[in-house]
Amino acid sequence: MDVNYNVTYGNENELKCTGNINSENETGNESEKHEDESLKKDQAKLSEIRELGNTNMTGPDQSIQILPIIGQVEGHVVLPPQTKSTKYEHLIPQLISMEQNDKVKGVLIVLNTVGGDVEAGLAIAEMIYSLSKPTVSIVIGGGHSIGVPLATSADYSFITPSATMIVHPVRMNGFVIGVAQTFHYFKKMQERINSFIVRTSKIDKDELERMMLKSDELLNDMGTMLIGEQAVECGLIDKVGGIKEALAKLNELIKEKEEEK
């Protein structure tokens, strides 16, 4: 609304009223601008959740960062769109960012995975293991296959009472050459995984191999299913607990690290 303050007629009250309307219009424009900025921020957050499966990236105000590994670990082959997956090319830069950010004091890894690409899963596990920040992992639904070394890679590991972990030998899909060298390659790959699990947990190597080669527990498959406390008893996981216990342990490790400085 335009106002001409040079008019020579009309009373003063009308002029003041018109000026107030202009002020209200300016306030309304600022409010709309603020709402647009807020909407853009919300859209950016939704895009982050959709693309990375993460509700908060490394931020300056968060001392504990959450790293969810959900669904199937996607490696060098893109999985079908209907498959829930965690992409390793998303996790690697997040881990590097957490390591470089001095405001980040600890990392909580939340696992509910059926396994996936061995190379990608083992790469993520090695990166978690090499972090200088205290780390705690928790298996909340399942930590199967390559999810086992992902769970043991943290400084301390938890599993909920109803969560499961399946330990089994490596598998391969697609074209396989039926020669002895192929089986030697499988054996070396399995040794890499076993070596990492033994190095990062309390399980005995012979016990781990026995569970992997067990043939009377899984239908048409080899391996062992561990439920809650069983994973602790064999030495794979440190303790049975939930989010409360996992966060309490992580805060304890953070405090110990700060006292060492």
d(CA 184, CA 174) in angstroms, rounded, equals 18
Exposed, middle or buried by CB within 10 Å (0-12, 13-18, 19+), for 135? buried
Decide if 90 is catalytic: no
**Lookup: tokens for 224:** 């062992």
d(CA 256, CA 97) in angstroms, rounded, equals 23
User: What are the start-end ranges of the H helices in 101-146?
Assistant: 118-129
Spatial contact of 98 and 107, defined as CB atoms under 8 Å apart: yes
The single residue of 85, 137, 144, 168 carrying the catalytic annotation is 168
The single residue of 137, 145, 153, 201 carrying the catalytic annotation is 145
Decide if 153 is catalytic: no
d(CA 155, CA 253) in angstroms, rounded, equals 9
* Residues with active-site annotation: 145, 168
